Chain A
Amino acid sequence: MKQLRRSTLLLLLALSLAAMFWACSEDPGNNVASPEPENDLLAAVQAHQEEFEQAIAIHNRAVPGILSTKGIVGTAIGADDNGLPVVKIYTSGPIAKGPLPQDVGGLPIVIEETGPIKAYKGGGGGGSSGQAKQTPPVKMGTSGGWRFDLANGFCCGGTLGSLVQKGGTKYVLSNYHVLYADIVNGGNSRTAQAGDPVIQPGLIDVACNANTAQNIASLVANGGTLPDPGNPDAVDAAIASVTSGMVDETGSILNVGTISATTRSAAVGLAVKKMGRTTGLTRSTISGINGAFSIQYENECAGGASFVQSYSGQIVISNRRCGFQNGGDSGSLLVEDVTTNPRAVGLCFAGSVTCNNSAIAIANPIGDVLSKLGATMVGQ
């Protein structure tokens, strides 16, 4: 539901710009030594570390929506004169206040007109983007979401992970929180309902405009598995019935290929990979098993607290600096890192929002997912 990697790059870029502006905003004619205001600000910021951690988490959730507004070229967490966090929004030119929220999750907004931001020189790129609109039949591992996942000034989305089948019918597999989590009328006057379209790409990749995406599946009754209070084997999973002709029914995953119809269990040290909307095809190793976590969910896109779900038996994947998985990769299928017909291991759904060297990603064991859904993998 949350995109982060691109935003992290923009965040770093924007922070660099912010630092440049701070450095360049001094009066060039004033050569008298100042009392080092930067150090005062740094000390003030360090004194509010907790606030900054919370602000970063709020900002991470809000980035896709912020960047979807025309004229906004970047956003970052900055500090006010008292060392408290603010959300900086960088624009290519003057921008009307109308499309902008008054605040971001309670954080004040500071708008700065930076002009357009361009990459100096990029690498060769390559590989197929998980964020692009696919030509039908679409492959899995690509951007997607609930067509109406737009509320509170933001839009949300995630990854359409893989295909499963039950009773001869094929379904897209993703997360509950990607497809079904809007459970209050709240900011968009609707909730996710059976029959609602699932689109590819998700709203976060079409500037929140569903008309430029395509309907590829439909929500179904009881298609989401949460909330599931008291169930130690709870999973954050969801299915949507495939629209005929719109999805590659071999279950092929972009940049991975056809997977195995069989699954395997997780083991510490197992090499794994996943294809997700944000970070693309990435590889890592399983660093933990039997994980127990309590995860807070929202009641709609950029909404309020909904419920806390307890999990046990979870798979933990090394996610150093969020290089393996990040916001928007939710719904990705975790598979063993082999070239031909990899077996599914888990369903990615959560992870560290602080991208440090100890960051982790979490996946539901695929056996629990399939058992809960009464489904099997589509593959060879």
Chain B
Amino acid sequence: MKPIDQVIAERAGEWLKIDGVVGVYQGVAPDGAEIICIAVRKETPALAARISSQAGGHRVEIVATGPIEPF
């Protein structure tokens, strides 16, 4: 299994090109597992279908953060 930060570094660009994806980051699931979080404007079936639930051996979860802008 690749280190999670390496997976993010390698694949963030690819995920960010998907329409509706606004960010990618490393988080922790309630069970303590390190996971890859894909931040999206809105969770849709189309996005769920395009984003694999695993990457480099790490769980991938979609988080509906909404659009991200400078504050």
Contacts and interface: CB of A to CB of B under 8 A. Distances in A.
Interface of A: 1-2, 4, 53, 57, 61, 158, 175, 177, 236, 268-269, 287-297, 310, 312, 314, 316, 325-330, 348-356, 358-362
Contact of B68 (A53, A175, A350): A350
Contacts of B71: 1-2, 4, 158, 325-330, 348-351, 361
26 contacts: A2-B70, A53-B66, A61-B69, A268-B27, A287-B28, A288-B25, A288-B27, A290-B8, A290-B25, A291-B24, A291-B25, A292-B16, A294-B22, A294-B23, A316-B27, A325-B71, A328-B71, A330-B71, A349-B71, A350-B70, A351-B71, A356-B64, A358-B66, A360-B39, A360-B65, A362-B23
Interface string B49-71: 00000000000000111111111
Contacts, number: 116
B7 to A, nearest CB: 10
A57 B70 contact: no
Interface string B16-60: 100000111111100000000101011000000000000000000
Contacts of B12: 292, 312
B66 to A, nearest CB: 3
B9 interface: yes
B70 A330 contact: yes
Contacts of A2: 69-71
Nearest to B21: A294
A314 B28 CA distance: 15
A268 B26 contact: yes
A348 B66 CA distance: 18
A353 B26 contact: no
B16 to A, nearest CB: 6
B67 A354 contact: yes
B70 A358 contact: no
Contacts of B68: 293, 295, 350-353, 360, 362
A321 B37 CA distance: 19
B69 A358 contact: no
B58 to A, nearest CB: 12
Contacts of A297: 70
Nearest to B41: A53
A312 B64 contact: no
